[in-house]
Amino acid sequence: MTTSATYAPAAARTIKRPNPVAVGTIVWLGSEVMFFAGLFAIYFTLRSTSPELWAHRTSELNVPYAFVNTIVLVLSSVTCQMGVFAAERMQPYTSVSDKGRKRWGMVPWFWLTFAMGAVFVSGQVWEYSQLVAEGMPISADSYASAFYLTTGFHALHVTGGLVAFLLTLGRAFAVKNFTHKEATTAIVVSYYWHFVDVVWIALFLVIYFLK
């Protein structure tokens, strides 16, 4: 005997599964959280065991400069998300509406994000040079080592994000038609970029404001 389920549309019987690339990225970012948690533990250990050293070194940090650099990275997260919205609309390039208004696509938003991320990394390199010139190289003491290792690993993660943006932009230029695969790539890259943004906000508060 034939049941009514036999005649159910195929679409109705399809099970919607999460994108494996997005899920894999989220799982990998979970492991990155544990990595940075270990770096945070170094700072809290130093604060409890060497309060005098902590107070001395934190007074040498340029908080206003780091704050401006942080704002740049936070804004880059906003532009990244705008690029994701454009990718979800399947709009890789800038379009013009019937009223003559330009609407940026994913590519220009991601280029802007890349530029802001590059400014952030360059700003960190300049800060390092200033601290070394003022007598705080990585070998100066335990606080200096923790500072350069923590912020340096984060800078490497930001640099990795910049490479991911270049690959995503290159893929958008290479394909003839912007499809769901390209949009998924943009979304996954945004997950990573937002992650490094949130991690830096936490680092900034711990390193520059925790007294």
Provide the residue ranges of all domains of the chain, joining segments of one domain with +: 18-209
**Confidence grade of residue 211 (pLDDT, cut at 50, 70, 90):** low
Q: Residue 40 above 90 pLDDT?
A: no
**Best-predicted range by mean pLDDT (123-127, 183-187, 203-207):** 123-127
- Say what the pTM is: 0.83
Q: Does domain 18-209 have CATH number 3.90.260.10?
A: no
**Confidence grade of residue 29 (pLDDT, cut at 50, 70, 90):** low
Instruction: Say if CB 48 and CB 40 are below 8 A apart.
Output: no
Q: What is the CA radius of gyration of the chain?
A: 22
Q: Residue 33 above 90 pLDDT?
A: no
Instruction: Say if CB 40 and CB 202 are below 8 A apart.
Output: yes
Q: Give whole-number Cα distances, 56 to 1, 97, 143, 159, 211, in Å.
A: 83, 57, 10, 30, 10
Please state, as a whole number, how many other Cβ atoms lie within 10 Å of the Cβ of residue 126.
Answer: 13
- Both tokens of 93, joined, read 């390039």
Q: What is the pLDDT of residues 49-104, one digit of tens each?
A: 888 888 888 889 999 999 999 999 999 999 999 999 999 999 998 887 767 788 89
Q: Give the pLDDT score at 28.
A: 65
**Confidence grade of residue 111 (pLDDT, cut at 50, 70, 90):** very high
94 against 3, higher pLDDT: 94
